[in-house]
Structure 1
Amino acid sequence: MNVTELINRGLFGEPAFLLGMVAFIGLILIRADFHAVISGTVKTMVGYILLQVGATAAGASLSNLTLMIQEGFRVIGIIPHNEAITALVQVNYGQEVAIMMLIGMTGHLLIARFTPIKYIFLSGHHILFMSSVIASVLVASVLNTTLNYLIGGLILALTLSLAPAISQPFVKQVVGHQNFAIAHFNSVGYVLAGFIARFFKPPKGPLQLPASLRKIEPLMHDHILMISFFSFNLFFVSSLFVGPEAVSNLFSGRNFFVFSIIQAMWFSAGMYVILTGVRMMLAEIVPAFKGIAERWIPNATIALDAPVLFTYAPYAAIFGFIISFTAGLVSMFVMSAMQFTVIIPGVIPHFFAGGAAGVIAYKIGGGRGLVVSSIFHGILITVLPLFLLGFMSELGFMRTTFGDSDLNIIGILLGWLLQ
């Protein structure tokens, strides 16, 4: 197995394995008994797999929503989708990405060991995303190959260390402790959401319905029921907008009402599995990681993927997604009217990034903070990809690009500096 395969398809290509190894080593270092070591390792991996399974289920229904939007608005443009554009970069620059990842991860661990910035970034797919952004911009430069590797690895190391640190003050306000940070390259979006939310009053209690709907307030305590209700309305309204006949043509003759129900159930099932997986993973990985931190990187904080925030305010996550996505749709129409390249808002980036930003905004600024912050967040992650496109010209014609704020900002800044 060559270096590229070892990095991309091995350790970093399997984040569940990476997290399992962290739990295994940590539990051994704290001298847990044999049963606890095996149980903690397996449950950490299963928890992350559940998160992936839930994300896949929710993502499948959201992909169908994207098709409906394209059909309904008759818009042709570029859709931000991290996985799709990363696959394209891998085909063209797989070796460059792998070597930058190796250098970057090594530098990241050295930063955590010898500097005050003590965060360990454990979201493997986002490491791959950022490496792909850096590689796709650097290869268009006139620098030699070795210099590209070194610069790319250094930039990756700095982003892996700084991204969790930037958003941590707001994340700490949400979770109430320093046990973990967020390893998701949308830290600028989270900081924006948290900063704007500070201008509003924090919530006095759980997210409440308007007075006119208080009769169904007891239902608010059933997370899955309410998520199903809101997601059904999202699909149902979209189906009405597109038209029952168009929905039938797009999805193999299915009735639009039944289709809306089934897609809502898929999305809700995905959310349930995500929340279950996150709880299981955190219960095992956080205590185990302390063993590693105490031995090798004292006072280090583990950084995990954004869905870990969903459990702190599930409704705020759903509202954050919907408002962020709606703001993205408005931005799309503005781009079209101004005859710019049209960025069609990616449902999946808005779901994960917008959902996490919504949790942060609600916990800091209540309902009003959630609404206003999510609007600005949606505009941010829809407009930023427009400025990155020109710096990835070596990839040729693309129908997709990167979706999260940090990925775009690093690519734009790097491209501007190279020019």
Structure 2
Amino acid sequence: MDYVIKVLGTPAIIIAFIAFIGLLFQKATIAGIIKGTLLAFTGFVLIKTGGAILGGVLTMFSDIFTNAFGLRGVVPSNEAIMALTIDSLGRPSAFILFFAMIINVIIARYTRFKSIYLSLHLIVFMSFSVTAALVGLGYSELFAIIFGAVVIGAYMAVFPTILSRFSRTIIGNNDYCIAHAASSSYIIGSYLGKWFGNTNTNVEHVTVSDNFSFLKNPDVATFITMFCLLGLSSLFAESAYLAKVLDGKPYLVWLLEKSATFACGLYIAKKGVVMFTEEIVPAFKGFSKIVAPGSIPAVDPMVLFDKSPNAVLIGFLVSFLAELCCVAIFPFIGLPVIVPGIMASFITGGSAAIFGNATGGFRGAVIASFVNGLLLCILPALVLPLFSHLGVHSVTFADPDFTFLSAIIKYTFGLGH
């Protein structure tokens, strides 16, 4: 079952398969099928590779930040809690994933919700969180599988379709939409941007003095952002700890290299996105003609990052700031401290700002990303008791969609338990 989870939860495999089937249905040449399948697979692996580089630098930054400011608490990490509970939750979660995929396709074929969710690694995490919540409340594995498959399958079709109302404005068409575990945050942020923002102040059109024109280059801006964050945190870190991190390397060289590594990771991921979308979108049209006519692929939000680089940086910083506010406040209101998840702050905060900017300009971007940061802390803190039966301490599920659903389960199915 562990093997099934790994195969079905590997996005690059699913993407390559869909590209292959789509090109086959389009009666492409053998050379075209091989080229399109391999480029779609390679593009997604590039995204994963860039993401791993980003994650490495962000994890290091998180550790330095924790050491510098004495931050202790519960760490939101989907990968960590899944790895620790795979023996107890793996079997029902695999069944949920399998049946949810089928339900997603059925809904896309027969209803107006035409999205087919391709970020399947996130559905693996969601399957684990639903199973953990329901088993923790005393429900059987069979009930967890049935409930999880139906609800998550519907989620996979409905949420990207709702979000496409806003994503098509950013993308410029409806050839694809966004599938991510923070869709609820993006929808809320989009509406808040629409209600309280001002589209006349688009963050991508901010006027920059010629003296600072280098900031217009997204790779340079990314480098400088990480340079400042790492530099500031390392100044307050313990000297012995920092010496261990530097591993004999001169401080300035280390700081420059890590900042450049972060910028390179984002650059690689964005190049992978371009390669992936150029192949999967036309191939998916062939796939959808047979499987679910009129359906559209729902893909990772990193496809948007090259379209709104300023919003990504603003969203990351503002979302992170909101999480720090929660760290300061939670001990006084009886909630467990949720350690800011830096990777989640970057991906979901940046994406939330892109959506907020699309509907409300600079103000919308700030509002959307700040609310996203609050959700990244408040929701995990509220549902943390649900997962105590797992015997896993100091780690919990991260993304808003997982924790929103867990909260709904807690306050509905938990009433009689």
For 2:76 and 2:2, the matched residues in 1 are separated by: 26
TM superposition score normalised by structure 1: 0.93
Partner of 2:320: 325
Partner of 1:344: 339
- After superposition, where does 1:90-239 map in structure 2 within 5 Å? 90-198=86-194, 199-203=196-200, 207=204, 214-239=209-234
SS of equivalent residue, structure 2 residue 139: coil
TM superposition score normalised by structure 2: 0.94
Task: List per-residue Cα deviations over 1:96-155 (Å, max 9, x = no partner).
Answer: 111111222122211112222111001121010110111111212333332232122112
For 2:215 and 2:399, the matched residues in 1 are separated by: 30
For 2:242 and 2:199, the matched residues in 1 are separated by: 41
AA matched with 1:229: I
The 3 A distance-change label for structure 1 pair 209 and 234 is farther
AA matched with 1:263: K
Partner of 2:381: 386
For 1:316 and 1:403, the matched residues in 2 are separated by: 22
SS of equivalent residue, structure 1 residue 303: strand
1:63 has 2:59 as partner: yes
- After superposition, where does 1:44-55 map in structure 2 within 5 Å? 44-55=40-51
AA matched with 1:389: L
Partner of 2:26: 30
AA matched with 1:331: C
The 3 A distance-change label for structure 1 pair 372 and 244 is farther
Contact preservation (8 Å) 2:167, 2:178: yes
Task: List per-residue Cα deviations over 1:57-90 (Å, max 9, x = no partner).
Answer: 0100000011012111212100111111122231
The 3 A distance-change label for structure 1 pair 142 and 79 is closer
For 1:98 and 1:191, the matched residues in 2 are separated by: 28
1:253: Cα distance to partner?
A: 4.6
Task: List per-residue Cα deviations over 1:185-238 (Å, max 9, x = no partner).
Answer: 11111012211211222256662556xx61234324422122112221121122
1:242: Cα distance to partner?
A: 2.7
Partner of 1:416: 411
Task: List per-residue Cα deviations over 1:278-325 (Å, max 9, x = no partner).
Answer: 000000000000111122211101000121111211221122111101
AA matched with 2:210: K
1:87 has 2:83 as partner: yes
AA matched with 2:105: L
Contact preservation (8 Å) 2:129, 2:406: yes
Contact preservation (8 Å) 1:362, 1:369: yes
The 3 A distance-change label for structure 1 pair 142 and 223 is closer
Matched-pair identity in %: 28
AA matched with 1:83: E
AA matched with 2:354: V
1:261 has 2:256 as partner: yes
AA matched with 1:21: F
SS of equivalent residue, structure 1 residue 120: strand
Task: List per-residue Cα deviations over 1:159-196 (Å, max 9, x = no partner).
Answer: 21222123221212211211111111111110122112
For 1:208 and 1:144, the matched residues in 2 are separated by: 54
1:316 has 2:279 as partner: no
Partner of 1:370: 365
Partner of residue 401 from structure 2, selected from 379, 399, 406: 406
For 2:334 and 2:254, the matched residues in 1 are separated by: 34
1:341: Cα distance to partner?
A: 1.0
Partner of 1:9: 6
1:333: Cα distance to partner?
A: 1.1
AA matched with 2:320: F
Range that drifts further, 319-328 or 43-52: 319-328
The 3 A distance-change label for structure 1 pair 330 and 104 is same
For 1:101 and 1:236, the matched residues in 2 are separated by: 42
Partner of 1:286: 281
For 1:216 and 1:27, the matched residues in 2 are separated by: 49
For 1:269 and 1:309, the matched residues in 2 are separated by: 17
The 3 A distance-change label for structure 1 pair 23 and 244 is same
For 2:101 and 2:203, the matched residues in 1 are separated by: 40
For 1:319 and 1:204, the matched residues in 2 are separated by: 14
SS of equivalent residue, structure 1 residue 139: helix
1:54: Cα distance to partner?
A: 0.2
The 3 A distance-change label for structure 1 pair 203 and 35 is farther
The 3 A distance-change label for structure 1 pair 302 and 79 is same
List structure 1 segments (4+ residues) > 6 angstroms apart after TM superposition: none
SS of equivalent residue, structure 2 residue 170: helix
For 2:392 and 2:84, the matched residues in 1 are separated by: 11
AA matched with 1:343: I
Partner of 2:70: 74
1:42: Cα distance to partner?
A: 0.6
For 1:205 and 1:99, the matched residues in 2 are separated by: 44
AA matched with 2:60: N
Task: List per-residue Cα deviations over 1:38-70 (Å, max 9, x = no partner).
Answer: 111110000000000000001000000110121
Contact preservation (8 Å) 1:275, 1:310: yes
SS of equivalent residue, structure 1 residue 77: coil
- For structure 1, the 5+ residue unaligned runs are none
SS of equivalent residue, structure 1 residue 207: helix
1:43 has 2:39 as partner: yes
